[in-house]
Amino acid sequence: MQVIKERIVIDYDLPESAIKIEPDTDLKEQLATLSEAPALIFDFSNYEEGRPYSQTRQLRTRFGFTGDIVALGARKDNVAMIERCGANIISAHEKYSADDLLPFFEEITDYYQPNY
């Protein structure tokens, strides 16, 4: 699949041992297992679900996770926030291509969440 990594479109195959994180996953409880995974996968395609933003942020800042965080289902209006929260590999929602999303990293310059 084509994804955005470091704001460049690349071809990427999910590692077989990647772990998909559900919104109700207790990260602290699963930390030992998660820290050994080469990649963690989060679904950002549901507008009504905000927990993946918090989870990716916690993994990077609170738990020091340094592996790949893969965001699935990114849209034009949330791609920059997904990156700010800690995802370093971003896959576009089925409505878009990865190239469609590139300009939207720079579209928002002021944030309501200055600490993110």
Domain coordinates of the chain in residue numbers?
A: 2-7+18-105
Element (H, E) at 83: helix 79-85
Per-residue b or e along 52-72, where b marks 16 or more CB atoms closer than 10 Å to that residue's CB:
bbebbbebbeeeebebbbbbb
Model confidence at 107, pLDDT cuts 50, 70, 90, reads: confident
Q: What is the pLDDT of residue 47?
A: 87
What is the DSSP code (8-state) at residue 37? -
Average pLDDT of the chain, as a whole number: 93
Q: What is the pLDDT of residue 96?
A: 96
Q: By the 8 A CB rule, do 105 and 7 touch?
A: yes
pLDDT tens-digit series, residues 10-64: 999 999 999 999 999 999 999 999 999 999 999 999 989 999 999 999 999 999 9
